[in-house]
Each structure stands twice: as structure tokens, then as C-alpha cells.
Amino acid sequence: MLRFLQNSPHALELVYAGTSKMLVPFRRVMKRGSRMERLFIHLEKWTKGATFDCRMCGQCVLHSTGMTCPMTCPKELRNGPCGGVRANGYCEVLPDRPCVWSQAWERSRKMPLYGQEILHVLAPVDRRLKDTSAWVNHLHPELLKPPAGWES
């Protein structure tokens, strides 16, 4: 089931697009430190943990990475693949596993809505957002400011 979901990125991007729109009216109640955030932290741990092996970075970029979590790369690369990916598309560090970024690329090719976003350079991870709700942060872009001096 999990593999089926991961390999159905178009269905997942539709869920993402729908959820993004559906949550906009709740922006005012979904704030940092609110009860709603605590609820969403649990929901995200449970749903995204089961589906994407989410590491709760708090700044979700799944729609930009072929619905494949970049934090599951052993090097936690936000932009990949690294120079060590093997010719067979497997990981340099964990040779028995496919490269997360190679999978991200393949899956992004099946995403008509957001597939091109994989070509954008992503900001470095802001570790201060770890274990916060990515949906709350998504609704409040001011919480997602990239580090000073960083430009895409």
C-alpha cells in the first residue's frame, strides 16, 4: 500500500493542492503554539510519517521533490542528487537502497501540477522549525523565511 501511494505522485499532488486550498480559511486559528498546531503536529506525524517516512522538518517540500521526502536521504540533502549516486540509481551511503533523489526525479515526471518545481533550488533547512507543523508554517510564509543572505 505504501509503495503504491509513493508511486502515485499525481494522486498525492492532488491531495496536496486540495488541502492547501481547504486550509486557507483556517489561517487565523492555525497559529504557532495553538491547539490547532498541536493537533496538526500529531496528524502530520501519523499521516506523513506512515506515507513518506516524514522526519518533521516543519518546512515541507514534498510537492517540489516528487512527493519524496528529501530528509530521508542519508545526507539530508535539500537539493540532490549528490555526486555519489551510483550508476544503477542507488545510494552511495546505503548501497542497498535507491537514491531518494533519483526516485524524486522519476516521480516528479508523473506530476503535471508541480513536477517542474524539482528544477528550483530549495532553501537550506531551517532546523529551528523541526517538530513544528509544516501546514501551520505553510499558512504563515513569514515563518519560512530562508536564512539571511540566501537567494535561490
Kindly list the residues in this chain that would bind ligand SF4 in the complex (CB under 6 A): 48, 52, 54-57, 60-62, 69-71, 134
> What is the dihedral sign for C-alpha 127, 83, 90, 81?
positive
Q: How far is the CB of 87 from ligand SF4 (least distance, A)?
A: 27
Closest to ligand SF4 by CB, 35 vs 130, is 130
Task: Copy the grid coordinates of residue 82.
Answer: 549528490
> What is the dihedral sign for C-alpha 115, 11, 65, 126?
positive
Q: How far is the CB of 149 from ligand SF4 (least distance, A)?
A: 23
Q: How far is the CB of 15 from ligand SF4 (least distance, A)?
A: 13
Closest to ligand SF4 by CB, 88 vs 115, is 115
What residue type is 132 in one-letter code?
T
- Strand residues in the chain grouped as ranges (E): none
Q: How far is the CB of 33 from ligand SF4 (least distance, A)?
A: 18
Closest to ligand SF4 by CB, 57 vs 91, is 57
What residue type is 33 in one-letter code?
G
Closest to ligand SF4 by CB, 10 vs 45, is 45
Q: What are phi and psi of 83, to 5 degrees?
A: -75, -5
Q: Is there a contact between 86 and 99 (Cβ–Cβ < 8 Å)?
A: yes
